[in-house]
Structure 1
Amino acid sequence: MDVASRSRSRVEERLTRLEEEFGPPEVTQTTFEVSEERYQRSLERSRDGQLDVRCVVRDDDGAVLLREGNGEWLVPRGQTEPDERLSEAVKRIVREAAGVDCTVTDAVSANIHGIRNGDDESAGTVYRLSVVFTADVVDAAEQSGESVRWDAEPDAVSELV
């Protein structure tokens, strides 16, 4: 089985697990070309079965949890560990990114990324899955640090959900 078939098969397995745990999310697909370095990184993550996670965490007032990253305020994000249950991965990623505990409520969208090597047309397309989850904060008082905030009207969320 080639790279494209294996990575596509892993994405389909993850989508099945996602559906079993949360029901069917809205699924879209995007294909794009990247550099050799980024392609190799995607290939490695594909082999491990990692999935990219973004989580929109809301507090009791509806404000969204944001974390500063690369000069921008973004929702918590990260990658799953191999064989990690999806809801547990989301909770871990939110805790590591922002220092708060949450309860995962839904998987609202999934995007299948077809990644082509822009430097080598003969390299197979690698497929990766990125999922946006929603969650409610368990205890907003736990959040700490200047790199984390709650925002009632965050721009980062509008492009995700």
Structure 2
Amino acid sequence: MDAAGRSEQWVENQLGRLTDEYDSSSVHQTSWAVSAERYERIAGVAANERAAAGVRVTNADDEVLLVRDRRDEWAAPRGRVEPDESLETGAIRNVREATGVECAIEDVERISIVGVGDETDRDRSSIYCLVVLFAGSCGPDERVDPAETPVRWRRSRPTDGLDPGVLAI
């Protein structure tokens, strides 16, 4: 099976597992056309290395944990999932590394499937990447110091979802 087939199978397996564990969730699909060189780089990594995950963490005051992202916007903490991690483990690690906050996952908020195609050869099969935003919470003692880090608790819930661009592939 080629890279495109392996990536499609891996995404299908993960979607099935997430549906079984968290019931239904909204799934969005988008596609990108990238250079042949970038397509080859993406094809060269294992399917489970093409995943990103984060958590929309709320606290007891119903505030949402946000970090300033690479585009200088406030968003849920998120990042790449390592090859040896589950989506959930990667999401929790990404929150901890970005904010210092320990959280628990309660549900899936959004799933995005990104089909990556070769812009120079439209006949090549898409390689699929998976981006998952979980919903979660943290204990009452979890605090952040906004003076020292680009992390905030905010009462208003931004409508931004997990940007599939976070994959940085």
| Structure 2 residue 25 is matched with structure 1 residue 22 | no
SS in 1 for 2:116: strand
TM-score by length of 2: 0.80
- Greater shift in the superposed pair: 114-123 or 35-44: 35-44
Gaps of 5+ in 1: none
Distance 1:124 1:20 in 2: 28
SS in 1 for 2:66: strand
| Counterpart in the other structure of 2:156 | 153
SS in 2 for 1:140: coil
| Counterpart in the other structure of 1:53 | 53
Considering only aligned residues, what root-mean-square deviation do their CA atoms show, in Å? 2.3
Question: How many pairs are equivalent?
Answer: 158
Distance 1:115 1:50 in 2: 11
For the 8 Å contact 2:87–2:132, the answer to whether it is kept is no
How big is the shift at 1:58? 0.9
**Superposition pairs of residues 1-161 of structure 1, within 5 angstroms:** 1-36=1-36, 38-70=38-70, 71-138=72-139, 139-141=141-143, 143-144=144-145, 145-155=148-158, 158-160=159-161
For the 8 Å contact 2:52–2:87, the answer to whether it is kept is no
Aligned-residue sequence identity (percent) comes to 35
SS in 1 for 2:112: strand
How big is the shift at 1:120? 3.7
How big is the shift at 1:36? 4.1
- The one-letter code sitting in structure 1 at the alignment partner of 2:100 is G
Gaps of 5+ in 2: 163-169
How big is the shift at 1:2? 2.2
SS in 1 for 2:7: helix
TM-score by length of 1: 0.83
How big is the shift at 1:80? 1.7
Distance 1:119 1:27 in 2: 28
SS in 1 for 2:130: strand
Distance 1:33 1:63 in 2: 37
- Whichever structure has more helix as a proportion of its residues is 1
- Whichever structure has more strand as a proportion of its residues is 1
